[in-house]
Structure 1
């Protein structure tokens, strides 16, 4: 009896687990069997576990297909990013072309202005209101230099016979001559040119000596105001009379200029300590005790005395030169375009094997 039941149970289990051609299983209801022929539930559990495994495999395949699609979509954006450096370098090369055209116009404008006949400043008020109409125009002005209020801009290097020497640009106010119709009617700042460092040091020593002498002359005045005042006035008048013949007028031929535009690496000016690193015309005018709208003129006189070579005026050709000339912009254009072509070619070469495998 037990062996007969065991054989029937094996037949039912085998029937329940027999696969169909489509991969499904036979489903036999337990109601068609008599209670004594029921089999344990573990045979149905086996078939149910097989269905779950098949469903899990299908879900894994679907998720794998979705992740592959997302990866392919992301790779398209990655391919576009490979061409970004080429586009940027191409834009920089095009920008250099426009920069070159602007630089050519600026230098041509300066050259045409410098070829015009020089103007005389004695008949016009030199102020910054007419700076736009006078900039890069040659002018002639007559007056007297006030060396005691000179400003030194620098340090600025100068190459002489292959030897570089540090120095400064000296800016001195040119004062009007009373009663002279040919002189300027109001003060003008003149960039007289380059001077060595020793020139600036000597000027500071002279100014310090003047301050000491003026302070020593002021002490007797405080001690006995009535008696010493007359003596001081007579001494001052005598000094002015002695120095009057030594004062000589000068005629400056120069070019009207504006303030410099310093780079981010140039330190800020410090008027309180006398440190000037770039030309700021309004600030220099105020430091010299002049109005803010005072004009600045760069001396371009080429007649330099061999016995007194300093200051060295600026070369007029330096006014039609720039730190970056049009030819430099052209070289930069070729460089950027070449770099753009190179990185774009590398991007195509990087993508070609992927397209071939597909």
Structure 2
């Protein structure tokens, strides 16, 4: 469910230019594929409402092109559901369609340990590292959802990842807010497809130099 000020999501192109993602941070997207639960990564510990848990990151293999796999931040689960065997309802099989935000993930700070992928320990989302580990594109989509209170409790009990809300507070950055939520003009949509799909360098350069889009 989307709020009244949320633009409709755009289909995510199969192949994405990672250098263009910063230009489309918080862009709402739709992407379809199959989750690779065998390559799941848990980032944590992460707290939610005073309870310790993890962020579930799962590669999503695109329907017609395995090479177009991306990384999906599916949301938070409690620590007691760390083992996949304890949360079968949180491991959907078959084709799924994810609605979320194309994002640049948060960065580690000086107190955050380095990831130890050889031991399956991740403390922050190093997208390039995770992409290389799973054979994915270095593209990060944060799944969004707006479950009611009782549905959220049910998800937590069953180990279904709880995604982030679709609405975003950009802390009074009005220009970014307007671009993110109201930039639905034809020009913006064309820009999204041209830049993210790795167009020829001359087209990319012309599009990025046009600051009025």
Q: TM-score, normalised by structure 2?
A: 0.64
Among candidates 145, 151, 155, match of residue 301 of structure 1 = 145
Which whole-Å CA distance do the structure 2 matches of 1:130 and 1:185 have between them? 19
Alignment of 1:131 onto 2:12: no
Which residues in structure 2 correspond to 1:308-319 (within 5 Å)? 308-309=155-156, 310-317=160-167, 319=168
Count of aligned residue pairs for this structure pair:
159
> What SS does the corresponding residue of 2:118 show, helix, strand or coil?
coil
Which whole-Å CA distance do the structure 1 matches of 2:98 and 2:139 have between them? 14
Q: Is the 8 A contact 2:68 2:136 kept in 1?
A: no
Question: Which runs of no fewer than 5 residues in structure 2 stay unpaired?
Answer: 174-213
Q: Identify the residue that residue 79 of structure 2 maps to in structure 1.
A: 197
Among candidates 34, 47, 51, match of residue 144 of structure 1 = 34
Give 1:115 deviation, angstroms.
3.7
Give 1:273 deviation, angstroms.
1.3
Which whole-Å CA distance do the structure 2 matches of 1:303 and 1:127 have between them? 32
Give 1:301 deviation, angstroms.
2.0
Which whole-Å CA distance do the structure 2 matches of 1:269 and 1:184 have between them? 26
Give 1:271 deviation, angstroms.
1.4
Say if 1:184 and 1:130 are closer, same or farther in 2 by CA, change over 3 A. Answer: farther
Q: Identify the residue that residue 93 of structure 1 maps to in structure 2.
A: none
> What SS does the corresponding residue of 1:154 show, helix, strand or coil?
strand
Which whole-Å CA distance do the structure 1 matches of 2:11 and 2:117 have between them? 31
Which whole-Å CA distance do the structure 2 matches of 1:185 and 1:289 have between them? 8
Report which of the two has the higher share of strand.
2
Which whole-Å CA distance do the structure 1 matches of 2:57 and 2:41 have between them? 5
CA RMSD of superposed structures (Å): 3.0
Q: Identify the residue that residue 204 of structure 2 maps to in structure 1.
A: none
**Largest Rg, 1 or 2:** 1
Q: Identify the residue that residue 45 of structure 2 maps to in structure 1.
A: 155
Report which of the two has the higher share of helix.
1
Q: Is the 8 A contact 1:157 1:166 kept in 2?
A: yes
Which residues in structure 2 correspond to 1:54-69 (within 5 Å)? none
> Structure 1, residues 132-186: CA drift from partner, whole Å, max 9, x if none?
2322100011111111101111100110xxxx110000000111224xxxx9971
Q: Identify the residue that residue 253 of structure 1 maps to in structure 2.
A: 99
> What SS does the corresponding residue of 1:277 show, helix, strand or coil?
coil
Which whole-Å CA distance do the structure 2 matches of 1:184 and 1:141 have between them? 13
Give 1:205 deviation, angstroms.
8.9
Q: TM-score, normalised by structure 1?
A: 0.40
Larger RCO: 1 or 2 (CA < 8 Å, sep 6+): 2
Say if 1:321 and 1:167 are closer, same or farther in 2 by CA, change over 3 A. Answer: farther
Which residues in structure 2 correspond to 1:88-99 (within 5 Å)? none
Alignment of 1:120 onto 2:4: no
Q: Identify the residue that residue 59 of structure 2 maps to in structure 1.
A: 173
Q: Is the 8 A contact 1:150 1:171 kept in 2?
A: yes
Q: Identify the residue that residue 284 of structure 1 maps to in structure 2.
A: 130
